[in-house]
Structure 1
Amino acid sequence: MITDIVMLRHGRTSMNLERRLQGQIDVPLDIIGQWQVDQSGFALAQRYYWAKVSNIAAHPDLLPHTPPQAVRDVEASEYTNAPAAARTMHVVCSDLFRAQQTAHAFADILGLDVHLDTRLRERGFGEWEGMTREEIEARWPDDFHAWKRHRGGELAHGVESRRAVGGRGAAAIRSYVHDAQARPGQETLFVVSHGSWIVATIATLMGMDIEQVSGLDGMRNAFWSRMGLETSPDGERWLLAAFNEGPQIAQYVDWENGPAELRNPDMPMWKPITA
């Protein structure tokens, strides 16, 4: 039974840096994005270390073989008898490569498999994919401003609606919850996806009006949110435990631009959108 869901956004890409709408374009992390997901991966692996113990308990063959000169064998029972063995973690990920890189930065530390799912892809931005906001505004000013005001101006250009993204994401999460009901013990679902997808999915599961401008803020690169799930005969209750949370190091460094020693001389500085 799934009782806890973690949703992690992918790290920075070159198109993020250029402030282009990526949508479902398959673009890898840049060097700063890889640094971001490594930092978040380390922090989350510390928090969820129990998942490594649980995975070894389920697959004792993952333990190293004891060399002949060792005075004792590795004790698999230490893992199978640990309280952590009673809980499991399942890692699922958008099939776009930037999300796969992000998922492995966490899962590989704990020895967990990553399962790809096309339902976790980012919002499709139609003919606007690959364009900057300035380029879109110059070509379609009315539709651009209607989009910014959550009035659907983007829909004329093949952009997936916020409501459709949230419905797609919520349906995927609920399918994982349904499939886990028959399995014993409690599970944590670890989801690696994209900013618009995560915000829309959380809003939908929480029963929020996804078209409200005053809804949830956007997710930062390589930051995560957590949801709890309570089920009863009366139905399900979704709880938002944390939103847009990052590793401690993000409080002390320029997170969006990364350490100076990683920035190439010709790399522009990331700047926030001010309008």
Structure 2
Amino acid sequence: MREFIVEADGGSRGNPGPAGYGAVVSDAATGQTLAEAAEFIGVATNNVAEYRGLLAGLRAAHALDPQAAVHVRMDSKLVIEQMTGRWKIKHPAMKPLAAEAARVFPPGRVTYEWIPRERNKHADRLANEAMDAGKRGEQWSPSASTAALDTPSGPAAAAADVPEPSGPPGDATAGAARVRAALASAAADASGATSGDTGADAGARAGTDTEAAAADADARAARAVATPRAGWGPADMGPPATFVLLRHGETPLTPQKRFSGSGGSDPSLSEVGREQAERAAAVLARRGTVQAIVTSPLARTRETAGIIAARLGLDVSVEDGLRETDFGAWEGLTFGEVGERHPDDLSAWLSSPDAEPTGGGESFAATATRVAATRDKLIAAYAGRTVLLVTHVTPIKTLVRLALGAPPEALFRMELSAASLSAVAYYADGNASVRLFNDTSHLR
């Protein structure tokens, strides 16, 4: 029976913050490196990144030989003690990762050992390479030693006398191909199930920015989205559910400042609006942190979301609770026109969140109730993940207002531009943090 050594590590620059993992599989008898794996996984905690590294290492070993015995060495005391069963796994973000790691090989074929950090330098280097690549908006690429696995002259050839179970003896190329295929499949499978995962964002991170000014602006915005929680709260709650809030691109009604809610003509994007959506897609691709996309059902948001999804390689889910307020008889009118035709109703609407627009529209109080319920639903569905919500002025302002604990009249004190980006993080203790608001740097 072959025996592999798996060394794995993970890190987070912020905890939670931009995170990545690294894993190395070596031959226990010869010490030869057989496979390396690393990935930038978006915003996550150290512990999530370490578990992701363990999982990648085990999957790479399984791809080389599913009948092998594996000895795991990590400098994470938490992971080692939890995987051996000596410590109980309490955090909800850790349980599915630990369970998945335990299923890669049959029970009894994997042993665990804690090692000091200085003895885990290879995996630590890979994890940092992955985080550095993510900061540049790129994917981690294998080092020269791993790339050599593609030819019989590489490190795998040194162990060519050890038969591969599903290929001819010494078929290092086939073995390396199986490793890459298994890791690619694992990344895709994990993208919908684990915290901080961006495995499905391979296409999203492919975009690059050649203009230094745009890159600097994007870096500032990315840091704002990835900033760890400020204040006195505990640091071990796991990564928050982060909503990146994108107002849809411009429609023909936008420059005219006409009421455009969910009860009107439902306009599509203008040519300017489509260009704005493309620019938003480019900046989100460079950041590489969005793991899912949810949109309002209205045409302008669905079109905006579709442009983003095509760039990021993600599917789009529709959530009715993200629709814009129904402005009743005011739909399609300017503020001045409403003031001329319905002055009393407009005055009441500006004075009370319970007042409805003329003709049975939706009050701001009703909108807030709907948006808060939708928020709670999405927080539960995307715990620990970063999700793009493509929606409208009132839902975005309402989410920001509620996160700040601001009064209803705060809605009239916010400016929200077409195709602007905002971000709110929601933590396990019920607290929220507004990390970005009305960012339009990508549109300049």
State the TM-score, normalized to the length of structure 2. 0.43
The offset of 1:242, in angstroms, is: 0.7
SS at match of 2:408: coil
Matched, 1:211 2:409: yes
Partner AA of 1:243 in structure 2: F
The offset of 1:105, in angstroms, is: 2.0
Q: Which runs of 5+ in 1 are unaligned?
A: 52-88, 251-275
The offset of 1:14, in angstroms, is: 0.7
The offset of 1:150, in angstroms, is: 4.9
Partner in structure 2 of residue 110 of structure 1 = 312
Which of these residues, 253, 265, 268, is aligned with residue 28 of structure 1? 268
Partner in structure 2 of residue 195 of structure 1 = 393
Partner AA of 2:332 in structure 1: G
Alignment of 1:1-275 (within 5 A): 2-24=240-262, 25=264, 26-48=266-288, 89-150=291-352, 154-181=356-383, 186-212=384-410, 216-232=413-429, 236-250=430-444
User: d(CA) in 1 for partners of 2:326 and 2:295?
Assistant: 17
The offset of 1:160, in angstroms, is: 1.3
User: d(CA) in 1 for partners of 2:359 and 2:301?
Assistant: 25
Residues 87-120 of structure 1: per-residue CA shift (max 9 Å, x gap): xx12100011100111122221111001111111
- 8 A Cα contact 1:142 1:153, kept in partner: no
User: d(CA) in 2 for partners of 1:202 and 1:154?
Assistant: 22
- 8 A Cα contact 2:403 2:433, kept in partner: no
- Size of the alignment, in residue pairs? 204
- 8 A Cα contact 2:416 2:438, kept in partner: yes
User: d(CA) in 2 for partners of 1:174 and 1:98?
Assistant: 24
The offset of 1:190, in angstroms, is: 1.1
Shift in alpha-carbon separation, 1:140–1:117, aligned structure 2, 3 A? same
User: d(CA) in 2 for partners of 1:170 and 1:159?
Assistant: 19
- 8 A Cα contact 1:165 1:201, kept in partner: no
- 8 A Cα contact 1:147 1:153, kept in partner: yes
Partner AA of 2:273 in structure 1: G
The offset of 1:194, in angstroms, is: 0.3
Q: Which runs of 5+ in 2 are unaligned?
A: 1-194, 196-239
Higher RCO (CA < 8 A, seq sep 6+): 1
User: d(CA) in 2 for partners of 1:47 and 1:146?
Assistant: 43
SS at match of 1:200: helix
User: d(CA) in 1 for partners of 2:382 and 2:255?
Assistant: 38
Q: What RMSD in Å do the two structures reach over aligned CA positions?
A: 2.1
Shift in alpha-carbon separation, 1:156–1:148, aligned structure 2, 3 A? same
Larger Rg: 2
- 8 A Cα contact 1:21 1:125, kept in partner: yes
Residues 8-36 of structure 1: per-residue CA shift (max 9 Å, x gap): 00011011123221111311001111111
- 8 A Cα contact 2:403 2:434, kept in partner: no
- 8 A Cα contact 1:36 1:222, kept in partner: yes
State the TM-score, normalized to the length of structure 1. 0.68
Partner in structure 2 of residue 75 of structure 1 = none
Shift in alpha-carbon separation, 1:163–1:102, aligned structure 2, 3 A? same
- 8 A Cα contact 2:353 2:408, kept in partner: no
User: d(CA) in 2 for partners of 1:122 and 1:37?
Assistant: 18
User: d(CA) in 2 for partners of 1:227 and 1:132?
Assistant: 30
User: d(CA) in 1 for partners of 2:442 and 2:378?
Assistant: 30
User: d(CA) in 2 for partners of 1:32 and 1:156?
Assistant: 31
User: d(CA) in 1 for partners of 2:296 and 2:354?
Assistant: 25
The percent identity for this pair of structures is 30
The offset of 1:166, in angstroms, is: 1.9
Larger displacement relative to structure 2 (146-155 or 237-246) = 146-155
User: d(CA) in 2 for partners of 1:151 and 1:95?
Assistant: 24
User: d(CA) in 1 for partners of 2:322 and 2:353?
Assistant: 25
